[in-house]
């Protein structure tokens, strides 16, 4: 019950204070430029990386990015910039 209450309070605050939902709801923010760049903010850590796959831990589940020729251009504790040919972006629920 407390989890639902907390979620309702966050939603109310987001609406009333005009705050971005990704910040208040602790969601990832994903920005893609075509199929060549993907910038992901608010993740919980890198789980796997190869030239064809990137897997990140999220607060709820994982994010899987598949493609070819992947190169990590920037990596910070909660942000990552990936370049390459992006074919798929999928959310995986635990």
Mean pLDDT of 34-55: 97
DSSP string, 30-75: EEEETTTEEEEES--EEEEE-SSEEEEE-SSSEEEEEEEEEEEEEE
Domains plus CATH for the chain? 26-92 (2.60.40.2000)
pLDDT at 27: 87
Query: Residue 21: pLDDT band by 50, 70, 90 thresholds?
Result: low
> Does pLDDT of 36 surpass 90?
yes
């Amino acid at each position: 019950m407390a989890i639902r209450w907390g979620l309702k309070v966050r939603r109310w605050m987001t609406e009333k204070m005009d705050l971005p939902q990704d910040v208040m709801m602790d969601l990832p923010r994903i920005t893609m430029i075509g199929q060549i760049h993907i910038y992901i903010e608010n993740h919980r850590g890198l789980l796997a990386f190869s030239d064809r796959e990137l897997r990140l831990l999220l607060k709820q589940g994982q994010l899987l990015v598949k493609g070819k020729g992947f190169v990590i251009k920037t990596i910070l504790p909660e942000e990552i910039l990936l370049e390459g040919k992006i074919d798929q972006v999928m959310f995986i629920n635990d």
